[in-house]
Amino acid sequence: PAHPVAQPGSSDFIVVSNRLPVDRVPQEESDDGWRRSPGGLVTALAPVMATREGAWIGWHGAADETLAPFHHGNMDLFPVPLSADEVELYYEGFSNSTLWPLYHDVIATPEFHRTWWDTYQVVNKRFAEAAASAAAPNATVWVQDYQLQLVPQYLRALRPDLRIGFFNHIPFPSPEIFAQMPWRKAILEGLLGADLLGFQRPNDTANFLRSARRFLGAGVKARQVHVNDASGHFSHISRAEPFPISIDVAQIQQLAKNPDVIARAKQIREDLGNPTTVLLGVDRLDYTKGITHRLKAYGELLDDGTVQVEDAALIQVASPSRERVETYKQLREDVEGMVGRINGQHDTIQNTAIRYLHHSYPVEEMVALYLAADVMLVTALRDGMNLVAKEYVAARGDNSGALVLSEFTGAADQLKQALLINPHDIDGLKAAILRAVTLPKAESSRRMRSMRRQILAHDVQRWSEDFLSTLAQKAVRDDS
Ligand code: G6P
């Protein structure tokens, strides 16, 4: 590479996440063999890292491939290899068939397998070792998300000099649900290796602290956990706080003003036959997103004749995700069956009820879609934050547009002027969609203005500064 990569032991700021910001793809799917990784974590952290000269440790998305560190977009990327077995047991297994459904309030049934847990530990050790060897003395290491909950403890054992932060991008379940986890104590102890634990909502923070108290008998006072070492002696204080994550507001705003993007938005509406109302859903194809609830409600509105295929079109972007996991295969069948049935019944030669796109798109195209959409539908059954809702709001520079938002998303804490819904209540969801379609201009613009004020004042740079300055303070106080 043209740019030399940081030497081992010389990085002062390190992010560790399961995925690197770029994902290995087959040559024929991209020019250089790389593509931006899917999901909210990378959407949020990539802009932060681009301005912070840091090292990023993570998996590059391919099995059985060992890559040398490389430089990309102002970051040093340190790929961690996973074997095909580890992808199956650690990533598809424990991370996405045990933790993911458990932490999203058991919407799908979590599976508990000892071989998955064994591999989770092995892989978490590997990530911790990679961080330990990259870090300069007294460096700050920021570990991300549910795939790596044991890294803080392993890393502290290897490098007690480091300042360790952890941020959980997904919900943390109530102790009543977390209780099911056979290795609940080990996971809590793993997390408590961090000096600072960040969660999306105050509720997630409270759930974690209640679990620490209940399952470890830990001393908890004012969001501070008193952590002992294996021999029962005081080791350190671990703090838990909410830090609701956000988006790169400036980037979205800039794209929303870009003439090419504006022209593309117009084109999208024209290509749909210039309907009066364009509705939009954008999700990873994941069962937590409530896509089938949304389709059911929309299909019934068409059946009832309240919405007409000549007047309205729903664009549903569903980006491919975790495609080898059984629950995801099943969901794809369900969604595609529903779309087929609804379109078969309501489409005309000219008009389509639902334009379903099983693709992921670059951010320019996403912003064009946000500009083209009069109504944004976010109907997640459970979601740590939901950045799509925030991106839609950031893109609506003229204060037009309506956001239908599930109260089960972290974003609902901040976007109180959205049309809030319970996605399980299909009649309520239908009423909210109808309301969004017919919302008087004055009201939609009042709501949008208030939501924009919130988002514009709380971008992802501010989120990272809040977290990292709290982590720094903590360390200062401990040393004194
Ligand atoms: C969510 C998770 C991330 C994850 C992303 C994409 O946003 O919080 O940790 O990276 O989904 O999922 P994937 O399994 O493809 O990494």
Give 467 Cα–ligand 1 centroid separation in angstroms: 20
What's the confidence (pLDDT) of residue 51? 87
Is there an atom of ligand 1 within 6 Å of 40 CB? Answer: yes
Protein residue with least CA distance to atom 8, ligand 1 = 169
- Predicted TM-score (pTM) of this structure: 0.96
Q: H or E element: which one contains 108? A: none
Give 282 Cα–ligand 1 centroid separation in angstroms: 15
Whether residue 243 is predicted with pLDDT greater than 80 in this model: the reply is: yes
Nearest-atom number in ligand 1 for the CA of 40 is: 7
Q: What is the pLDDT of residues 164-197, one digit of tens each?
A: 999 999 999 999 999 999 999 999 999 999 999 9
Q: What is the pLDDT of residues 201-228, one digit of tens each?
A: 999 999 999 999 999 999 999 999 999 9
Catalytic option among 169, 293, 346, 458? 169
Whether residue 403 is predicted with pLDDT greater than 90 in this model: the reply is: yes
Is there an atom of ligand 1 within 6 Å of 452 CB? Answer: no
Give 41 Cα–ligand 1 centroid separation in angstroms: 6
Nearest-atom number in ligand 1 for the CA of 91 is: 14
Is there an atom of ligand 1 within 6 Å of 170 CB? Answer: yes
ipTM of the complex, rounded to two decimals:
0.98
What's the confidence (pLDDT) of residue 141? 98
Q: Which of the 8 DSSP states describes residue 64?
A: S
Nearest-atom number in ligand 1 for the CA of 170 is: 8
Whether residue 479 is predicted with pLDDT greater than 70 in this model: the reply is: no
Q: Which residue among 23, 41, 146 has the greatest number of ligand 1 atoms within 8 angstroms of its CB, and so is best to mutate?
A: 41
What's the confidence (pLDDT) of residue 478? 52
Report which of 181, 182, 175, 176 is spatially closest to residue 218, judged by C-alpha positions. 175
Report which of 107, 101, 145 is spatially closest to residue 124, judged by C-alpha positions. 145
Report which of 65, 74, 81, 8 is spatially closest to residue 33, judged by C-alpha positions. 65
Residues paired with residue 166 on neighbouring β-strands, in sequence order:
143, 197
Whether residue 134 is predicted with pLDDT greater than 60 in this model: the reply is: yes
What's the confidence (pLDDT) of residue 2? 55
Report the pLDDT averaged over residues 408-412.
98
Give 154 Cα–ligand 1 centroid separation in angstroms: 22
Report the pLDDT averaged over residues 287-299.
98
Query: How far apart, in whole angstroms, are the C-alpha atoms of residue 364 and residue 345?
Result: 33
Nearest-atom number in ligand 1 for the CA of 95 is: 14
Whether residue 362 is predicted with pLDDT greater than 80 in this model: the reply is: yes
Whether residue 4 is predicted with pLDDT greater than 90 in this model: the reply is: no
Protein residue with least CA distance to atom 6, ligand 1 = 39
Is there an atom of ligand 1 within 6 Å of 19 CB? Answer: yes
Nearest-atom number in ligand 1 for the CA of 384 is: 8
Cβ atoms of residues 160 and 140 within 8 Å: no
Is there an atom of ligand 1 within 6 Å of 169 CB? Answer: yes
What's the confidence (pLDDT) of residue 330? 98
Residue 383 is a catalytic residue: yes
Give 18 Cα–ligand 1 centroid separation in angstroms: 8
Is there an atom of ligand 1 within 6 Å of 41 CB? Answer: yes
Q: What is the pLDDT of residues 447-477, one digit of tens each?
A: 999 999 999 999 999 999 999 999 999 554 4
What's the confidence (pLDDT) of residue 476? 47
Q: What is the pLDDT of residues 65-103, one digit of tens each?
A: 999 999 887 889 999 999 999 999 999 999 999 999 999
Structure tokens at 382: 């459970």
Is there an atom of ligand 1 within 6 Å of 195 CB? Answer: no
Q: What is the pLDDT of residues 327-341, one digit of tens each?
A: 999 999 999 999 999
Catalytic option among 248, 383, 458, 459? 383
